[in-house]
Structures are given as C-alpha cells and as structure tokens.
Amino acid sequence: MAMDVIDYDIRGAEMQFVEVELDPGEAAIGEAGSMMFMDAGIGMDTVFGDGSANQGGFFGKLLGAGKRLVTGESLFTTVYTNNAPSKQRVAFAAPYPGKILPMDLRQLGGTLICQKDAFLCAARGVSLGIAVQQKLSVGFFGGEGFIMQKLDGDGLAFVHAGGTVVKRELAPGQTLLVDTGCVVAYTPSVSFEIQYVGKVKTALFGGEGLFFAKLTGPGTVWLQSLPFSRLASRVFAAAPQRGGSKEEGSLLGGFAAGGLLGGMLGGDDE
C-alpha cells in the first residue's frame, strides 16, 4: 500500500494542534487520545498495532502491537479515513506545551528515531516500530531508556516536542553533548552514546545528573527545551505535600473548602 499524501496546517503557538486534510479515500493514523476534532465524513477505526501494510495477518498485527507495547504506548492506534466524496479534515492536539514538528520521512532517508512518547500522528502507511540502542550504557544510564520509536516510510509523520525546538545539523565527527531528556529525534546516521559528566561534585550539586547524551554526526538531531519529565517533576515539587498547601492564601482557602464540604455533607441545618 502506497503512502497517502496528505495536506496539513499546524495552528497555535504554545499549545499547538495539526489539522490534516484528507482527500476521498485517504487516511491518517493517530496516537490514542490525540484526536481533537474531525469532519462528519471521516470514519474512525481502532486497529491492533499501527495499521501499516506490512502487518498482514494476525501474527503481523500482533508483532506490531508488541513493538508499541515495548515502547510504553497503547496496543492500538486509530485510523481516520475520509469516506466522503469531498475533502475532509481531522485535527490532532499536542498533549502539553511545545511544538509539533512535521517530518517528511522521504527527505530523511525513510527512517526517523524519536523518543517513545513523541509520536502524534502520521499519514497512513507509516510504520511504527522500535529502535533498540546497541550499547548497554544507553539503557542503563540514559534516563529515557534504550528503547525508542522508529518511524519508517516515505510519508509525513508528526512528532511533538516540549518547549522550544532546536534543529542541529551535525557534520561527520561533530559531537554534541545534550541532557538525555532533551533529545526528541535524530536520523539513523547519528551515533547515540552516553557520556559520564566526569566530576561527582558537578553531578551531585549541578542539577544536571550523572550522564549526558553524546550525539555524533553526520546527521540531523532535534532537541527540546522542556522535556515532559522535567515539567512533571517541577509540578510535583510545587504540589501540596501530605494534604497541605504551599500556596498563598491557604488559610482562607482552607476555610472556604471546609465550609463548602460541610454544607455538602451536612445539608441544611434547619
């Protein structure tokens, strides 16, 4: 099955969504829970695996679903097909603040390796697989794990990155040291290794951890300024602990909440 050629429009600034236009008979695949809205002429079908053509038969679909399970994603994806005689649109929303990146796999050599939670949606025919890092140091010390998603095909795929995105072109032998969580995606020609910071004092008190991701060219890498793990840790650190509250005005808030809860549980005192 040939890749569907889709048109798209990325809207928004901090909280983006991508609006995909489908011709009659064309389809797009989306990550579970990513759909924002769609025209009435589009049909939804939840499939086992990624729905690509190379998953023929039960065992092929089982293998595709197993690959997605290993990367921490859902066993199922949703296929959105235009069943109407005219063009229809479907939109997919980013899960947290950042940027949506359109990736033309044909221009990238047919393969892109990305973080396991970066994939958002793609044209029908793009295959979702796994990329296992060859070096055990990446798995043990990489922070984000040594199993990443691999997108194969010659169509459009959309990945999501947190915060601001930086695209770097690495020359042969050129090396870039990056916080492990800030790596969004890279082409297969890039070598991905883990490097020790070098000083225990820097690792313990510098706040950057013990290891860096060492990316060596040639190839292209995409970096994000706000990994979701970093955002989640800041939210957790600022959240009330043990039922208390760290926010200003907590005393007034406590009285208001107590009065409201008492009214709900006790009813009228007449």
Joined tokens for residue 126 = 């793009």
Total-model pTM: 0.74
How many angstroms separate the CA atoms of 258 and 221, rounded?
52
Does 117 score more than 60 pLDDT?
Answer: yes
The model's pLDDT over 53-88, given as tens digits with 9 standing for 90+, comes to 544 544 455 454 445 454 455 567 889 999 999 999
Does 194 score more than 50 pLDDT?
Answer: yes
The model's pLDDT over 229-267, given as tens digits with 9 standing for 90+, comes to 777 777 777 877 665 555 444 444 444 445 544 454 455
* The pLDDT value given to residue 169: 97
Tokens 């990056």 found at: 178
Joined tokens for residue 235 = 């939210």
Instruction: Please write down the HEC assignment for all residues of 114-175.
Output: ECCCCEEEEECCCEEEEEECCCHHHHHHCCCCCEEEEEECCCEEEEEEECCEEEEEECCCCE
> Please, which residues have CB within 8 angstroms of residue 103's CB and are 6 or more apart in sequence?
112, 151, 156, 157, 158, 159, 185
Task: Identify the architecture of domain 7-238 in CATH.
Answer: 4-Layer Sandwich (3.60)
Spatial contact of 65 and 76, defined as CB atoms under 8 Å apart: yes
127: buried, middle or exposed (CB in 10 Å: 19+, 13-18, 0-12)? Answer: buried
Spatial contact of 189 and 146, defined as CB atoms under 8 Å apart: no
131 — pLDDT class (breaks 50, 70, 90):
confident
